[in-house]
């Protein structure tokens, strides 16, 4: 029992020895800030920077550090030392890039603060959401009668997720690169001579790299924006789930295994995009609500493969139409920015 007690006393002494310098430093820095405040109130400003500088790296709490920076900037301004005042303001904005002026801030600090700005150098974020996709037919093919062609292309629900990197061009414009994984779904339907109804549900998986420019419509804390751009899709997979319903004649549905369509699709396709959204300031970053409409610029059918799969046209009476891929997506994301403080020109 005595050994255990001695062990606990020993551990307690070590902990006290370790923490005492930290507490002493914190107390010393707090006292230094108090002394600097008193000196400023008495108009004795020359010694304020030397008194506070040692604690800027370590020793102040967040609020104490903010107040220390303000005192130093004011001291330099009243001492007519513009160079050191600007240097200290840049250091302040580097440590606190999103600082917002307070009603209690001295007017001299407010005026000087407004001659600087923090510019986002680069932003990183993620996004996820859903999409509605459709095939826009540009040329019709059929095993039935062209004069009685009754084809439809129905939208399907898919997903979008990925990462974003962006860079500010000016106060309102930014350029963006997205790295996205997207799943698109849509369905082809057609009636052949009023005998059979075919139904082809296709699922595409793509790696997408859109590049776009946004323009902030508003410049408030929360911002609405519009977007314009384009990009490249890289095909990962393409699967059709086929079925044929006999309206007359034979009874029952004709179904079978999913069909791999990757040879029927271009491995790379291009698209244009337009959209807009809203940025909501939350914490040190921004919540993004983004809507986009993409329209394909590349025919999604490889012509030489149109009749390659005998099962499609022989079993299901299906020949692919030429089509462009179109979709509307809605995503939610979050981004954080790296800032660079600068003096306004």
Each residue's pLDDT tens digit, 88-123: 999 999 999 888 899 999 999 999 999 998 878 899
Same domain, 29 and 134: no
Same domain, 32 and 61: yes
What is d(CA 209, CA 233) in angstroms, rounded to the nearest whole number? 7
Q: Cβ of 40: how many Cβ atoms within 10 Å?
A: 18
pLDDT of 14 strictly over 60:
no
Looking at the DSSP bridge assignments, the partners of residue 207 are 181, 234
Same domain, 230 and 272: yes
pLDDT of residue 190: 81
pLDDT of residue 251: 62
Looking at 114, 130, 155, the residue that finishes a domain is 114
pLDDT of 19 strictly over 80:
no
Looking at 97, 114, 131, the residue that finishes a domain is 114
Round the average pLDDT of the chain to a whole number and report it. Answer: 86
Same domain, 270 and 146: yes
pLDDT of 69 strictly over 70:
yes
Looking at the DSSP bridge assignments, the partners of residue 265 are none
Cβ-in-10-Å burial (0-12, 13-18, 19+) of 267 comes to exposed
Same domain, 139 and 253: yes
Q: Assign residue 150 the CATH number of its domain.
A: 2.40.160.20
**163-176 per-position pLDDT tens digit:** 999 998 888 899 99
Q: How confident is the model at residue 15 (pLDDT cuts 50, 70, 90)?
A: very low
Number of domains in the chain: 2
Same domain, 274 and 151: yes
Q: Max alpha carbon distance in the chain (Å)?
A: 103
pLDDT of residue 333: 97
What is d(CA 343, CA 92) in angstroms, rounded to the nearest whole number? 13
List phi, psi (to 5°) of 186.
-160, 165
What is d(CA 77, CA 266) in angstroms, rounded to the nearest whole number? 65
pLDDT of residue 245: 84
Looking at 114, 135, 163, the residue that finishes a domain is 114
Which is higher by pLDDT, 141 or 226?
A: 226
pLDDT of residue 180: 98
- The SS3 assignment for 11 reads helix
List phi, psi (to 5°) of 253.
-95, 150
- Mean pLDDT score, 312-325: 86
**176-229 per-position pLDDT tens digit:** 999 999 999 999 888 776 777 888 999 999 999 999 999 999 878 899 999 999
pLDDT of residue 145: 59
Residue ranges making up the domain that contains 66: 2-114
Same domain, 85 and 143: no
Same domain, 107 and 130: no
In 3D space, the residue among 296, 319, 138 whose CA is nearest the CA of residue 206 turns out to be 296
CA angle 294, 222, 333 (to 5 degrees): 45
Q: Cβ of 232: how many Cβ atoms within 10 Å?
A: 15
pLDDT of 16 strictly over 70:
no
Same domain, 163 and 213: yes
Packed helices 62-78 and 2-41: angle between N→C axes, nearest 10 degrees: 30
**235-292 per-position pLDDT tens digit:** 999 999 998 887 766 667 888 899 999 999 999 999 999 999 999 988 878 999 999 9
List phi, psi (to 5°) of 47.
-90, -5
What is d(CA 241, CA 37) in angstroms, rounded to the nearest whole number? 75
- The SS3 assignment for 301 reads coil
User: b/e per residue, 188-225, with b = 16+ CB within 10 A?
Assistant: bebbbeeebbbbbbbbbebebebebebebeeeeeebeb
Which is higher by pLDDT, 314 or 186?
A: 186
Residues belonging to the chain:
345
pLDDT of residue 149: 60
Q: How confident is the model at residue 26 (pLDDT cuts 50, 70, 90)?
A: very low
Which is higher by pLDDT, 52 or 17?
A: 52
pLDDT of 152 strictly over 60:
yes
pLDDT of residue 293: 97
In 3D space, the residue among 227, 333, 220 whose CA is nearest the CA of residue 272 turns out to be 227
HSE, side-chain direction, 13 A CA sphere, residue 148: 8
In 3D space, the residue among 227, 326, 337, 238 whose CA is nearest the CA of residue 282 turns out to be 337
What is d(CA 239, CA 32) in angstroms, rounded to the nearest whole number? 70
- The SS3 assignment for 1 reads coil
pLDDT of residue 244: 86
What is d(CA 173, CA 226) in angstroms, rounded to the nearest whole number? 10
Same domain, 136 and 39: no
Q: How confident is the model at residue 147 (pLDDT cuts 50, 70, 90)?
A: low
Same domain, 157 and 94: no
Same domain, 109 and 135: no
DSSP labels, 121-188: EEEEEEEEEEEEEEEEEEE---SS-GGG---EEEEEEEEEEEEEEEEE-SSSEEEEEEEEEEEEEEEE
What is d(CA 260, CA 262) in angstroms, rounded to the nearest whole number? 6
């Amino acid at each position: 029992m005595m050994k255990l007690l001695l062990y606990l006393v020993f551990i307690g002494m070590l902990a006290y020895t370790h923490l005492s310098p930290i507490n002493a430093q914190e107390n010393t820095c707090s006292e230094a800030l108090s002394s600097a405040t008193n000196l400023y109130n008495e108009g004795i400003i020359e010694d304020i920077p030397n008194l506070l500088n040692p604690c800027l790296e370590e020793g102040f709490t967040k609020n104490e550090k903010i107040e220390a920076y303000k005192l130093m900037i004011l001291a330099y301004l009243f001492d007519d030392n513009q160079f050191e005042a600007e240097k200290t303001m840049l250091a302040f904005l580097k440590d606190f890039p999103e600082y917002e002026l307070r009603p209690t801030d001295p007017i001299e600090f407010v005026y000087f603060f407004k001659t600087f700005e923090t510019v986002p150098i680069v932003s990183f974020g993620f996004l996820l959401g859903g999409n509605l996709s459709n095939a826009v037919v540009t040329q019709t093919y059929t095993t039935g009668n062209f004069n009685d062609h009754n084809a439809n292309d129905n939208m399907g629900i898919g997903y979008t997720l990925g990462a974003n990197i962006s860079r500010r061009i000016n106060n309102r414009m930014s350029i963006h690169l997205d790295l996205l994984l997207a799943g698109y779904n849509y369905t082809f339907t057609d009636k052949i001579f009023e005998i059979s109804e075919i139904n082809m549900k296709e699922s595409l998986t793509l790696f997408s790299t859109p590049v776009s420019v946004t323009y902030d419509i508003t410049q408030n804390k929360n911002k609405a924006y519009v977007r314009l751009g384009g990009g490249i899709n890289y095909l990962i997979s393409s699967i059709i789930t086929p079925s044929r319903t006999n309206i007359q004649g034979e009874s029952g549905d004709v179904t079978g295994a999913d069909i791999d369509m990757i040879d029927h699709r271009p491995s790379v396709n291009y698209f244009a995009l337009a959209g807009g959204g809203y940025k909501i300031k939350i914490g040190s970053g921004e919540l993004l609500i983004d809507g986009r409409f993409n329209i394909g610029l590349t025919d999604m059918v490889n012509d030489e493969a149109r009749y390659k799969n005998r099962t499609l046209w022989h079993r299901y009476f299906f020949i692919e139409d030429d089509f462009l891929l179109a979709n509307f997506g809605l995503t939610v994301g979050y981004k954080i920015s790296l800032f660079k403080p600068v003096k306004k020109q």
